[in-house]
A and B are shown apart, each in its own frame.
Chain A
C-alpha cells in the first residue's frame, strides 16, 4: 500500500511539472533535440556510413548570359552536391582569359564569370567551363547581341512596352461592357463560356512555358516541381481570398450576384498571367531574342484584348463604377510592366518558372469560380452554347497567339 501511494505521488508530481511548463516550451524541446541530433550526426561525419563513393558530381547551371563589348558575362549557379572549381574557360575551341570564380563555387552558390572574348554580332559561341577534374560544362550563346544597358531610359522603354501589351489591350477589351450588359442571359452565358475558354488556353500555355523554363534553370531549387508549387500556392491563396471576400459580402448585404469579387479574382489571375508575359518579353528583349516591332505589339494587343472581355463579363449585371473598372484593368494589365522590368534586369529561370506556375494556378482557380455562371435554367453547365463558347474562346486565343509566335 505504501509503495503504491509513493508511486501515485510521484505520478502526480510529474503531472504537476508538465502542467507548470508553458506550452511553447513543450513545443520547442523536440525541436532542440532534433537540432542536437542532426548536429551530432554532422559533427561525427555520419557515423557508420563510411567514405563517400564515386567521383565528384560537378553541376553548374548558367542562369544569365550578358554580352558587353569584348566580354561575355555568365551568371552560374552550382546546383550539384559538390563544390565546383572553374579552372579554365574555352570559347569556340580556344582558351580564353576570364575573371571571377577564383574560389570553388559551393552548393547553390552563384558566381559571375566574365569571359574576355571579342565576340561578333550575330555569331554563335560555344563556351566550355573546364572544372578542376577536367569536366566540361557547356553553354551556347546563339546569335550574339549586346545586352541593353539597364538605365532609366531602358526601364522607361520596358514600362512603355508593358503598357502596350498589357494595360491598353485589357482596357480596350473592357469597352465591351456596355454591349455585354444588353445581351440576353443565354448569350451572356456564352460570353462567360468564351471567357473560360480563353483562360483555359492561357492556363495550359503558362504551365507548358513554366515547365520549359524549369527544365533550363537550376534543378536544385526544384525544377518542374516549382511550377506545380507555384500553381498550388496561387490556387490556394486565391481560394482563401475569394472565401474571405464572400464572407465579407455576406456580412454586409443579403445574397446577390457575386460578380464584383469574381471580376477581381479574374483580374488577379490575368494579372499573374501578364506578369509572366511581361517577364518573357523583358527577358527576350534583354537577351536580344526579341525584335520589337509594330506587328508584334499589335499581335499582343489583339491577343490581350480578349482578357478585358473576361474581366467585364461577370460584372455585366451590376453597375461597377468607372474607378472600379480602372482598378480592375490595372490589376490585370499592370503586372506586364513589372514583369518586363524584372525579366530585363534580374531574370532567374527558377523564379520565372514559379511565377508561370502561379499564373496557371490563379487561372485554374478563376475557372473553378466561373463555371457556375455558365449554368442555364435547367442547371446544365456544358450546354451547347457553353461548349460553343469554350471552344470559341480557345480558338480565339490560339489564333491571336499565332500573331506573336513563329
Chain B
C-alpha cells in the first residue's frame, strides 16, 4: 500500500503548525507515543528482520534436487566425462577421431520444478566433452534433429569452410540435414564449440555448447580431471538469467560435493558459456590454484584463488588441497552464487575416495 494518494500520509519531520489546540494535542499525545513504540519494535527486535530465522545457511532451491534421470544427464557424471571419440589410424600414422553429435530439443529441469525448453547436443547440457591430442585428425558428423537450423562452430585452427557459420562451407544445417566437420586438433589447449546461428545469444543460451580439449603431445601431469562449464538459464526470456550453475544444474555440487583426494593434483577445465552476463568468475575457498589461460601454455600465468572469464573465455586450473574437509567454490559475483553457481569440493584422505569420504545424505533445505 504505497499508493495512498490523498492519504499518502506524512511520515514525520513536518513542523508542527501550531494547529492543534492544547486539549486536542494532549488527547492525541497518548496514541502517538504508542504508535511510535510499535514502529520502533521491529528495529529493536534485531536489524535482520528480527533475528537469524531467515538466514538458514546457504542459498538453495526448495525441493533439493532435480530429476537427473528425466533430464537424461547428471552434472555429477558430466564433471568427469571425457569423450575421446571412435579412434582409428590414418595411412600417415596419425590418429583419426570420429564423433557423431546430434542437435535435439528437450525440456530440462534446470531447478527443482522449473522446466526449460532447451536445445542440446546429444541430449545433454553442456554437450559432450570432446577430447583429442594435438595433431589428431578430427571428423565430427553433425546431425540436426531439431526444428531450427543449427551449426557446430569450433574454437581452434581450421579452414573457413569448417568454421560452422552461415554462408561458409555447409553453412547452416537445416532441420533433418547433416554435415561433417573435419580438421586437425590444434592448437593444444582448452577450447569450446557452440552453435553459430542467429539469433546467436538464443541458440547458445538454450544449451548448444560444449567443451573441446586438445591435449599437448607430451600430455599433462597425471591428475584428477574435472570439466566445469559455467552457464545459466533465462527461464522467462527477458534476456537475463534466472538460474546460474556449473554444468547446468545450480547447487548440484552443494547437495553432493565433488570428491577429491588430499595432496592429489586436481585439474579443472573451466569454460564460460554464460549468455546475457558480460563476465563470470571462479573463486576457490581455502586454497589457491595455478591458472593457465586457454591452456595453450604449460606455464601458469598466475597463482590465485579467483579468476574472471568473459563469454567464450576459458582456462585450466591446477590445485592440490593440503587439508581435508569441504571447500566451497563459486562465482565471486555473489548474485550468480546465490542464484545457483555455488558448489563444494569435499577433500578426502588418500586411498579409497568413496570409503573415506563421508557422503552426507541429501537433505531438504
* Chain A residues proximal to chain B, CB less than 8 Å: 67-71, 85, 87-90, 93-98, 116-121, 128, 130-136, 142, 144-146, 148, 157, 160-161, 164, 205, 208-209, 212, 216, 277, 280-281, 283-285, 287-299, 301-302, 347, 401, 404-406
B235 at the A/B interface (Cβ < 8 Å)?
yes
* Residues of chain A with a CB closer than 8 A to B60's CB: 95, 97
Q: Are B49 and A130 in contact (CB under 8 A)?
A: no
A87 to B112, CA, bound (A): 7
Q: Are B52 and A118 in contact (CB under 8 A)?
A: yes
A177 to B45, CA, bound (A): 50
Q: Are B339 and A69 in contact (CB under 8 A)?
A: no
Q: Are B1 and A289 in contact (CB under 8 A)?
A: yes
B217 at the A/B interface (Cβ < 8 Å)?
no
Which of A90, A132, A290, A294 is the most central at the interface, judged by chain B CB atoms within 10 Å of its CB? A294
* Residues of chain B with a CB closer than 8 A to A148's CB: 38
Return B75 CB to nearest CB of chain A, in Å. 17
Q: Which listed residue, A134, A292, A406, touches B233 by the CB 8 Å rule?
A: A134
* Residues of chain A with a CB closer than 8 A to B110's CB: 134
Q: Are B111 and A130 in contact (CB under 8 A)?
A: yes
The contact sample of 11 A-B pairs, CB cut-off 8 A, is: A118-B52, A119-B48, A120-B47, A134-B233, A135-B235, A164-B31, A280-B1, A280-B7, A290-B11, A293-B10, A294-B20
* Residues of chain A with a CB closer than 8 A to B49's CB: 67-71, 117-121, 144, 146
Return B72 CB to nearest CB of chain A, in Å. 18
Question: What residue of chain A has the Cβ atom nearest to residue B24's Cβ?
Answer: A298
Q: Are B20 and A292 in contact (CB under 8 A)?
A: no
* Residues of chain A with a CB closer than 8 A to B43's CB: 121
* Residues of chain B with a CB closer than 8 A to A117's CB: 49, 54
Return A56 CB to nearest CB of chain B, in Å. 11
Q: Are B54 and A292 in contact (CB under 8 A)?
A: no
Question: What residue of chain B has the Cβ atom nearest to residue A349's Cβ?
Answer: B1
Q: Are B339 and A293 in contact (CB under 8 A)?
A: no
* Residues of chain B with a CB closer than 8 A to A134's CB: 110, 114-116, 233, 235-236, 242
B12 at the A/B interface (Cβ < 8 Å)?
yes
A90 to B235, CA, bound (A): 13
Secondary structure dominating the interface of A: mixed
- Given A88-B61, A97-B56, A132-B114, check contact A209 B5 (CB 8 Å): yes
Q: Are A277 and B7 in contact (CB under 8 A)?
A: yes
Q: Are A118 and B53 in contact (CB under 8 A)?
A: yes
* Residues of chain B with a CB closer than 8 A to A133's CB: 114-115, 235
A280 to B2, CA, bound (A): 11
A212 to B5, CA, bound (A): 9
The 4 closest A-B pairs by CB, nearest first: A69-B50, A134-B235, A70-B53, A87-B113
A117 to B1, CA, bound (A): 21
Question: What residue of chain A has the Cβ atom nearest to residue B33's Cβ?
Answer: A292
B51 at the A/B interface (Cβ < 8 Å)?
yes
Q: Are A96 and B59 in contact (CB under 8 A)?
A: yes
B199 at the A/B interface (Cβ < 8 Å)?
no
A126 to B321, CA, bound (A): 39
* Residues of chain B with a CB closer than 8 A to A401's CB: 6
A299 to B28, CA, bound (A): 12
Q: Are A284 and B31 in contact (CB under 8 A)?
A: no
Q: Are B53 and A294 in contact (CB under 8 A)?
A: no
Q: Are B35 and A157 in contact (CB under 8 A)?
A: yes
